[in-house]
Amino acid sequence: MQYEGVLSKMETELGAPIQYYLTFENSFLNVNQALNKHLEISFQGYQCLNCSKKKKIFRQGFCYDCFYSSPAVGDWIMRPELSTAHLGIADRDLDYEARVQLTPHVVYLALSSDVKVGVTRKTQVPTRWIDQGACQAVSIVEVPNRYLAGITEVALKNHFVDKTNWRKMLQNDVLDLDMLTEKARVFEFLPEEVKQYFNADLDEHFVMNYPVLHYPKKVTGLNLDKTPNFAGKLVGIKGQYLIFEDGTVFNVRSFEGYVVGMNII
């Protein structure tokens, strides 16, 4: 079976195991069905996810010009504490920013290798956790805007990491600890104005189960810029990564906006 189109991050569905989908213009692929089969990936070109022009991708699926002009990639995306829509102050486009920032946000702890703190819009639960390859996650606070989530994350960064260790995550090298105990100990670290939003529900505990046949001992990232054609046996999907039998891993998210051909044999 052959597929062709612009890569964007895999859509997911929480299930046992999680289901992954690659969506192209005229077709879609349930990636789980490619497990245990040979998958060929070939680089064919670029197409910016924002302007659709065939320009080289700069970051996050966007060409250089779109990356520095689109409100969808302002600094407040990566650093929520820089959000200003609650003050009526624009970064690039106040209408867009108000729509995204002034909605319920969740600050969470996720276990992917270490315990990591992060921020997401409430509508992105549990998608965000699946995208990070977390095997467990708990929500800490639910706040009405992105700024409050951001200052909470900043306070918790003193006690937890804020980046996923992708190698350990893909090798399933995960700490053995109780997430509800971790959740209970964060309350005292919360900023005063956020304490009222603490999520005290101890039953809300997400466990994610990934379609991985076996985990690699050593992982090497596939870079389509250096290796435009790759073929291997798919043995797992975790986070936004495809895991191959020889330890090659392909981060779909890093190649958003790349036009590829995919062939399953």
Cis check for the bond before 126: say yes or no (omega within 30 of 0).
yes
List of residues contacting Zn ion (CB under 5 A): 48, 50-51, 63, 66
In the chain, DSSP finds a helix count (H) and a strand count (E) of: 7, 16
Q: How far is the CB of 73 from Zn ion (least distance, A)?
A: 11
Q: How far is the CB of 93 from Zn ion (least distance, A)?
A: 16
Q: How far is the CB of 257 from Zn ion (least distance, A)?
A: 8
CA 5 to chain CA centroid, nearest Å: 21
For Zn ion, the closer of residues 61 and 216 by Cβ is 61
Q: How far is the CB of 8 from Zn ion (least distance, A)?
A: 14
φ, ψ at 184 (rounded to 5°): -65, -30
For residues 45 and 261, give the distance between their C-alpha atoms in angstroms, rounded to a whole number. Answer: 10
For Zn ion, the closer of residues 56 and 195 by Cβ is 56
Q: How far is CA 242 from CA 22, 138, 173, 229, 235, in A?
A: 11, 25, 17, 15, 8
Single-letter amino acid code for the residue at 122: K
For Zn ion, the closer of residues 20 and 46 by Cβ is 46
For Zn ion, the closer of residues 66 and 151 by Cβ is 66
Strand bridging mode 220-221 / 248-251:
parallel
Q: How far is the CB of 55 from Zn ion (least distance, A)?
A: 6
For Zn ion, the closer of residues 28 and 64 by Cβ is 64
For Zn ion, the closer of residues 48 and 151 by Cβ is 48
Q: How far is the CB of 96 from Zn ion (least distance, A)?
A: 16
Contact 148, 197 (CB under 8 A): yes
For residues 179 and 51, give the distance between their C-alpha atoms in angstroms, rounded to a whole number. Answer: 42
Cα–Cα–Cα angle for 143, 147, 150, rounded to 5 degrees: 85
